[in-house]
Amino acid sequence: MDSFEFEYGRTLENVEVQYITYGVPRYDDEGTITNAIVFFPTYNATYSYLREAHNYIIENSDFSDEFFFINIRALGTPDSCSPSNTGLNYDFPSYSIIDLVNFKRQFLAEKFNMKNVLGLVGEGVGGYQALKWACEYPDEMEFLLIVNSAAKLSGYKYIVAKVLENIIDATEDYYTDGYSVSKTKSIITVNSILFAHTASKKVFNNMENDEIQAVFDDFNDECFFTDLYDLKFRNDCDMAFDVTNQLSNIKAKSLFVGTNKNYFHSEYDMQPFRELVKDAIILTKEDEKEDYYYNNDDYVVIGDSIISFLNQFLK
């Protein structure tokens, strides 16, 4: 994009945006795409329930031919406009969830000439953006699908975010450009904390230490955040997230999915959606998995429910 203006007033020029599409776009008589679904992944999509469930859903539906999926890398994250990608590092503009939303809205308008979308699908912290969009611009989508997310970063989630903040604040060379040992050590420490929340105590207790080390190494190799500044600004953004008082604004048909052992977001986070989103469908699932990686049997109940929900919007 030529430029993007942040909520707090700063503007960046020549803004890079990375995106991926799959599926087939369909157009109305005016040339507007009518079947676009915007996807908001969680931090590390490799360990995403929804990403793994995707194969089950696609194999048991016609969605790849009926929907046009768009995954836009968020403002502040690697490969799109971010502290590391721009080279601004600690001088990158502070941003909020509404900036993440408007970044994607502006891109859709400029790239695809789209103001409205068919639906929003968000998981984990990616769900924060989808929720904010549905609350701030409730007439711009027909449906909202949220998996393992929350209306507010609070409780245990806030504690984890504060720990990450403290690690970053303790980095000796934070205001030093270029590589430093202290910044690398901080990222390794952060990754260790995030890894500890990718599975339950039950799963980890069933693994030998060498097995844990192997999956930990995989996690580090594929970790979403490899840059301290990208992590710092996104963590600050997420810590301020709270749409609880806006949930009643949502007009889209909504499905909220929560598992009771999702280690970061839980079934307790479903309660505000149940109470405040009109006609919301709430699905909670007892997570009985004992292996670190998901398998097809883990997706049947939720996968079938998602398929049934999305079938309403086939045109």
Q: Which residues of the chain have pLDDT under 70?
A: 44-52, 224-225, 260-263, 286-290, 293-299
Q: What is the pLDDT of residue 307?
A: 92
Per-residue pLDDT tens over the stretch 209-234: 999 999 888 888 777 567 999 999 99
Instruction: Output the pLDDT for position 41.
Output: 87
Half-sphere exposure of 191 (CA within 13 A, CB side): 21
pTM, two decimals, is 0.93
Q: Which of 61, 60, 59, 20 is nearest to 39 (CA)?
A: 20
- What pLDDT, on a 0 to 100 scale, did the predictor assign at position 296? 64
- Which DSSP helix (H) or strand (E) runs through 59? helix 49-59
pLDDT of residue 298: 65
- Going along the chain from its start, the domains and CATH numbers come out as 3-152+243-311 (3.40.50.1820)
Residue 178, φ and ψ in degrees, nearest 5: 85, -175
Nearest to 2 by CA among 21, 15, 19: 15
Q: What is the pLDDT of residue 201?
A: 80
Contacts by 55-62, CB closer than 8 A, 24 or more apart:
55/296, 56/296, 56/299, 56/300, 56/303, 57/299, 57/303, 57/306, 57/307, 60/303, 60/304, 60/307, 61/307, 61/310, 61/311, 62/314
